[in-house]
Amino acid sequence: MSLPIGVLISGRGSNLQKLIQTCVPADFPAHIKLVIANRPDAAGLQMAAKAGIATAIIDHRKYGSRTEFEDAMSATLRNAGVEFICLAGFMRLLSAGFVEEWQGKLINIHPSLLPAFKGLATHDQALMAGVKLHGCTVHYVSAKMDAGAIIGQAAVPVLHDDTPQSLATRVLEAEHRLYPACLEAIIRGEIRFEHGKVVSPASLRRENEKLLNF
């Protein structure tokens, strides 16, 4: 059975486009049921519509509180039959209530090797810190910004002549590979979210074998 996914965006939808392409093959275990943008001018809306995917605009500026905004998103997602959410450039912090409602079914991709360089301007942060490796992280969303359990990471080298833009371009290429791979691993049960941590059946078997042979 194909899992119905919702994608939340705020802008151009670069990772959305990759997720759309990933879900095209008939044997992929998920399909994008709905794309929600909190900005009416989000370019990703046109991208989704062109692919035949339903879209909705839920403008946070039209709601009196974050709770009302998030309640509207949840209601729209559930009415569409969505069972899992991917954030793809969604530029709004989510409350503890929303995260709890969708716990274990809400993931995001961040352009750094977390826990390093949380927040915005991650490529500038990396260059200022002088790190030799930078990259991206797919993680479960928690109530604290960029602090959820890590699902997967991809690293890229930082070159001596890098600018924030050149580094961003290279990291984005890694994002486009990592996000679909992590999503598929979750849906196929190769990765699970248990008690706030990421586990995999294979790693659990290895740990159990070690205990049995102790």
- Cα distance between residue 78 and residue 187, in whole Å: 18
Domain ranges of the chain: 3-212
- The contacts of residue 207 (CB under 8 Å, 6+ apart) are none
Instruction: Decide if 110 is catalytic.
Output: yes
Contact in structure between 164 and 188 (CB atoms under 8 Å): no
Evaluate if residue 206 carries a pLDDT over 70: no
| Per-residue pLDDT tens digits for 48-106 | 999 999 999 999 999 999 999 999 999 999 999 999 999 999 999 999 999 999 999 99
| Per-residue pLDDT tens digits for 142-190 | 999 999 999 999 999 999 999 999 999 999 999 999 999 999 999 999 9
Q: What pLDDT shows up at residue 210?
A: 41
Short-list 163, 181, 161, CA closest to 171: 163
CATH of domain 3-212: 3.40.50.170
Q: From the candidates 110, 123, 134, 139, which is the catalytic residue?
A: 110
Measured over the CA atoms of residue 179, residue 185, residue 189 and residue 194, the dihedral's sign is negative
Q: What pLDDT shows up at residue 202?
A: 63
- Cα distance between residue 98 and residue 71, in whole Å: 8
